Amino acid sequence: MGDAVPCVPCVPCVRIALVGFGNVGQALARLLLAKHGSFQFEVKVVGIATGSHGTVVNLEGLDLERCLTTLEGQGTSLPDAEAMLRHVEGHCDAVLEAMNAAADGQPALSILEQAFMMEPPAHAITASKAPVALAYQRLKAFALKRGRRFLFESSVMDGVPIFSLLRQLPGVKVKRFVGVLNSTTNLVLTRMRRENCSLWDAVAFAQQEGIAERDPSDDLDGKDAATKLAVLSAAIFGCQVNPAEIPADSIRNVTLEQVHDVAARGHTLKVVCEATLAEGHVETSVLLKELPWQHPLANLDGASAALTFETDVMGPITVTSTDPTTMDTAYGMLQDLQVAMLGDGCGGR
Ligand SMILES: NC(=O)c1ccc[n+]([C@@H]2O[C@H](COP(=O)([O-])OP(=O)(O)OC[C@H]3O[C@@H](n4cnc5c(N)ncnc54)[C@H](OP(=O)(O)O)[C@@H]3O)[C@@H](O)[C@H]2O)c1
């Protein structure tokens, strides 16, 4: 068994359970270790669940340093995430989910619902986009009914503050947003232009860099971007859009010749995500576009992402995420935890 982790006296102690302990879950553990004492609360991790690397619980707090090496022998071993959440019920303030959710949002969706069903309920925080895209309204209503928060800062743009920024602008209405949301396609198109290489060579590079998945179809065919657009539409406009129904261009057939022709016209190719609210209805698209170099998104190179909001009060507000890492994503989840436990003072979205 790992050593119990005592909380620092006089600082509130927040007990969390981590579901998913891969790239993001482990980055979160490293961040908690590195930033120990930097927040207005202490965090005690009472449970960690994985798919095939074990699931452990210690209500006194797991030793994260040791858990980063192996989960074996670090606490009471349980068969799966559902059993872990049942075990920590009554001893867990928030469930942080960072597992690989399928296109139907499962099993992440069930885990988030289980967090609200606990007695007392826990806050539910996710890094996964599919459950938010598909069930935002249901999860939000469930959270409200149970007096808890459902937060998902890391599901879009890797945890760079978008939703928390908008919560800080009470009364401001977003009318339209436009952005580049998929890192893989942006890296591939940038690399084709800069390195004069084919699309598939650029995809191979993105895979080597750990940006593209082994099967890059969801990125190349606009599905990842459409799902992120659906998350944003649901959270910002309150309009649940089925990602499968968002018109989405694939970049599979982009040739090097096309990239050079576009450059010769003084333009660059970008996969542009757009959503506009008109009379309670939202128009969404993920389109491969030629942008002139003076366009704010044109110079966004590599694995970066950016989003510009047009509002009824201020001029356009742009948020950029430059070559994000899993630390950005982990920080987004920690920021959500802060909002869940201490509030953001603004209520809203
Ligand atoms: N990586 C990023 O930079 C990034 C950025 C933004 C958002 N996200 C999102 O964050 C989530 C996690 O990404 P990741 O890169 O950390 O994925 P990952 O490295 O593949 O890790 C996934 C984790 O989930 C666990 N898992 C799978 N099925 C499970 C189950 N049924 N019960 C409990 N745990 C289960 C896996 O365990 P096993 O390994 O044992 O199967 C693993 O620990 C994804 O939804 C992703 O889209 C990731």
Task: State the DSSP string of 125-178.
Answer: EE--SHHHHHHHHHHHHHHHHTT--EE-GGGSGGG-SSHHHHHTSTT--EEEEE
Q: Is residue 112's pLDDT more than 70? A: yes
Q: What is the pLDDT of residue 7?
A: 60
Q: Is 282 annotated as a binding residue?
A: no
Interval between CA 343 and ligand 1 midpoint (Å): 27
Residue 326, ligand 1, Cβ within 6 A: yes
Residue 22, ligand 1, Cβ within 6 A: yes
DSSP lists the bridge partners of residue 180 as 306
Interval between CA 18 and ligand 1 midpoint (Å): 11
> Which residues, 6 or more positions from 279, have their beta carbon under 8 angstroms from its beta carbon?
none
Mean pLDDT across 187-216: 96
Residue 158, ligand 1, Cβ within 6 A: yes
Q: What is the pLDDT of residue 1?
A: 46
Q: What is the pLDDT of residue 344?
A: 81
Distance CA 214, CA 342 (A): 39
Q: What is the pLDDT of residues 228-270, one digit of tens each?
A: 999 999 999 999 999 999 999 999 999 999 999 999 999 999 9
Q: Is 24 annotated as a binding residue?
A: yes
> Which residues, 6 or more positions from 141, have their beta carbon under 8 angstroms from its beta carbon?
none
Q: Is 25 annotated as a binding residue?
A: yes
Q: What is the pLDDT of residues 74-85, one digit of tens each?
A: 999 999 999 999
Interval between CA 127 and ligand 1 midpoint (Å): 9
pLDDT band per the 50, 70, 90 thresholds, residue 279: confident
* Average predicted confidence (pLDDT) for the chain: 94
Mean pLDDT across 271-292: 95
Interval between CA 229 and ligand 1 midpoint (Å): 21
Domains and CATH numbers, the chain: 13-159+327-342 (3.40.50.720), 174-323 (3.30.360.10)
Q: Is 347 annotated as a binding residue?
A: no
pLDDT band per the 50, 70, 90 thresholds, residue 66: very high
pTM: 0.94
Nearest CA to ligand 1 atom 18: 22
Determine how β-strand 94-97 pairs with β-strand 13-19.
parallel
Q: What is the pLDDT of residue 261?
A: 97
Nearest CA to ligand 1 atom 47: 128
Residue 211, ligand 1, Cβ within 6 A: no
State the CB neighbour count (10 A cutoff) for residue 30: 15
Nearest CA to ligand 1 atom 19: 22
pLDDT band per the 50, 70, 90 thresholds, residue 182: very high
> Active-site residues: which are they?
228
